[in-house]
Amino acid sequence: MKKARVLFLCTRNSARSQMAEAFLRKYADDKFEVLSAGLEPDEIHPYTKKVMAEIGIDISDQYSKPLKQFMGKVLIGYLITVCDKAEKLCPSFPGISVRLHWPFADPAINEGTEEDKIERFRCVRDQIESKIKSWLKEPQNDEKLITVI
């Protein structure tokens, strides 16, 4: 039986979508194939790696990927946008069963002290972890999604 694919999408695939990918793998990897991508992919932000490592999650094997790598090429059980820009600009494309929008603030805002900056990443990390945990508790029709994929 194939796993339902979940694709997390944000603008740069450098922070929020990378965190979401790592958390879903941690909490439900046996249930989903987890992917992430960006509309304008960039290197993973160093603070993303740092705040995930603080809680024992190593994302050193993850890397930024463009949406076009998946668009129209693979079937997606869930497309989850994690920023407003990605939600607004993500084109519709075939092969998506469910599209969700979970807006999180961009932690990479370059304002404040270094401690302010890292704290924004921690806050967003914790919000994403909480959202993933609560989403996994919701009843879902995975049987339908798995047969589509």
**What pLDDT, in 10s, does the model give residues 105-138?**
999 988 899 999 999 999 999 999 999 999 999 8
Choice among 6, 9, 10, 20 that is catalytic: 10
Count of residues making up the chain: 149
Domain that holds residue 132: 4-148
Taking 50 as the threshold, does the pLDDT of residue 141 lie above it?
A: no
| Mean pLDDT over each residue of the chain, to the nearest integer | 90
The 10s digit of each residue's pLDDT in 45-98 is 999 999 999 999 999 999 999 999 998 888 999 999 999 999 999 888 777 889
pLDDT for residue 93: 74
Half-sphere exposure for 139 (CA within 13 Å, toward CB): 0
Total structural domains in the chain?
Answer: 1
Which CATH number characterizes residue 143's domain?
3.40.50.2300
Q: Is 10 a catalytic residue?
A: yes
Counting residues of the chain whose pLDDT is more than 90, the rounded percentage is: 75
pTM: 0.91
Mean pLDDT of 9-38: 95
Greater model confidence, 147 or 19: 19
- Catalytic pick from 15, 76, 80, 83? 83
Catalytic residue among 90, 124, 132, 145: 90
Is the pLDDT confidence value at 36 over 90? yes
